[in-house]
Structure 1
């Protein structure tokens, strides 16, 4: 993934560098500040920024730009549409696209930010609803709940470990859907109430589930998402979830996970000397290796490490010359 680092005490250079990562904006130093000391680090998908001086940022209408901003140090605030949110260390605030936005950051404020793809985020919300959005998606301008903050902190730590690794498309799609779903399901926005209402799948949920299972089996090698499955079957994600609950007492994601675990097991059973557990996990959409190992052992009664070791021992016995 692309890496970038900028450290500058030049105001114009700071504005240009930050603008290339986010959007065009106006930056003003606090009257008491003598100089800026900006550090910008980009290790996709995380952007880290520290201005090193108290600043005011006028970001205009934030065109097509969603940000999920976590305060690492210091304090800051953001205003959007007449609302204001304040950061303290360890707090995360989602900032919505296409609305007038300005920030005030203290001298020691530093952030770790993820930029969700606006088009994909709104498309996923539309897929969950089963209809086009009739207005722009707007998250409530306030910090995450304690529970969501814990999950988000763990997610950032995971992303730190994968930031310099080029993930296979299947793992990349799985990670992206996880992040977007986490935002849509766990932080309030203007479609939250509608998403929370039950959706009926029709009179034959078992038939819909069988079609979904067949589609997942056929396309499991692709960067498949649950939203895509629902779209291909002509239903909303909520309707698909309801069908799986009614027919299987399960979820579409559990089904896709099971299909991918089976594929991962087959890959390990056919392993060569070049096979690694990390590669097998990532190629089958599992970006969290610890969770992959736990799911694998729960499903097959042995760890992926044990499967691979057994296959390698057997291969060694087959290829070794007789004494």
Structure 2
């Protein structure tokens, strides 16, 4: 499995944004007066990449049709008008740029964005079970997807949190966890696209009991690594709506809640076995798909009636308290360096 790579750099001229989408050359011209200040973060897992950029002045951008990759972009914030082709964009809106298609954009002021770069053939694995989204043919047309205000705002906030945490120099992410976060990033950036699709009408759905059995067999085979819901859908060949109905019917809870509790159980076992001298609660939580230490602690205590630090200290009495994870830690468990990355990406957009 491929590991996670993160590269963050400050940019002091518009020329630095020719790598605005990692692996894809973009022609950039500064059109608004002022000193250019920018920040670029590239997150990679294998041939997948996410680029997050923010800049302080208005730009004109163009990408040539020679790029063979699919790009899915999301506007994170903007102080003024943003247009791509003839589309006006608002924060949370998503833009699909197919392979081999020219693209032009105009930012009339400071802004921030995120962009996925994928192999078109990879959408089948990324969106398995979602009939429209898993068909490469449906990604060959340029399109702008308007974000539902709530879904768009949630997606922007969630993506900022993921980037902030993964950009922490102290964050250690295993290859297994890297695959989980790759799927989580794709899920967040394309949430607006998925929300825009009508419910499937031709899906063949196995019985709820058999579907749950197949899903649990897959989860069990995965061991302690975090499993994303998109993996289950791809393996079982069903949409998220169908998977949710089956889990609710058989187990009384949805698949997202089920997977979250499975990860919490794996963390509980890890905390009992790990030595606090060699690891931290935050590291274990990140490896199992939790970003925010305060929220994670709340989920953990609700399920086990004790805090993670209490479990951590059982095998080594008195040592678990050195690394508490109580609800008072309401901010992300990121270091000051990663928090500054998140604030800079916001500040350059000034919104």
| Aligned counterpart, 1:246 | 249
> Which residue in the other structure is 2:260 paired with?
257
Question: 2:51 & 2:62 partners in 1: Cα distance?
Answer: 22
Shift of 1:103: 0.8
The count of corresponding residues between Structure 1 and Structure 2 is: 298
**1:6 counterpart (8, 11, 15):** 11
Could you tell me which runs of 5 or more consecutive residues in structure 2 were left unpaired when the two chains were aligned.
Answer: 1-5, 44-49, 321-351
Q: 1:219 Cα deviation (Å)? A: 0.9
Partner of 1:209: 212
Query: 2: CA distance between counterparts of 1:252 and 1:67?
Result: 28
Please give the secondary structure, in 2, of the residue aligned with 1:193: coil
Say if 2:15 is the partner of 1:42: no
- Cα pair 1:85 1:142 within 8 Å, conserved: no
1:305 paired to 2:314: no
State the Cα distance separating 1:212 from its structure 2 match: 1.7
Counterpart contact for 2:282–2:293, Cα < 8 Å:
yes
Aligned pairs (5 A) from 1:81-230: 83-87=86-90, 91-98=91-98, 99-106=101-108, 108-115=109-116, 117=118, 119=120, 120-121=122-123, 123-129=125-131, 133=135, 135-137=137-139, 141=144, 143-158=146-161, 159-164=163-168, 165-187=171-193, 192-195=197-200, 199=203, 201-202=205-206, 204-222=207-225, 224-230=227-233
Distance 1:273 1:183 in 2: 35
More displaced, 20-29 or 239-248? 20-29
Q: Could you tell me how far 1:277 is from its partner in structure 2?
A: 0.9
C-alpha distance after superposition, 1:72-130 (max 9, x if no partner): 43432212xxx41144xxx2331212144211122x32314242545455533343229
Structure of greater Rg: 1
> 8 Å contact 1:22–1:65 — kept in the other structure?
no
How far apart are 1:301 and its partner, in Å?
A: 0.9
Shift of 1:193: 0.9
| 1:270 equivalent in structure 2 | 273
Flag the 1:207–1:187 CA change in 2: closer, same or farther, 3 A. closer
CA distance in 2, matches of 1:266, 1:172: 21
Hey, what's the Cα distance between the residues in 2 that align with 1:270 and 1:101?
A: 52
- SS where residue 150 of structure 1 aligns? helix
> Which position in structure 1 is the counterpart of 2:335?
none
Structure 1 pair 296–55 and aligned structure 2 pair: CA distance change class (3 A): closer
Is the alpha carbon distance of 1:310 and 1:136 closer, same or farther for their aligned partners in structure 2, counting shifts above 3 Å? same
Counterpart secondary structure, 1:127: coil
Q: Give structure 1 stretches of 5+ with no counterpart.
A: 317-323
Superposed CA RMSD in Å reads: 3.5
| Partners of 2:313 and 2:198 in 1: CA distance | 50
Q: Which moved more, 1:135-144 or 1:65-74?
A: 135-144
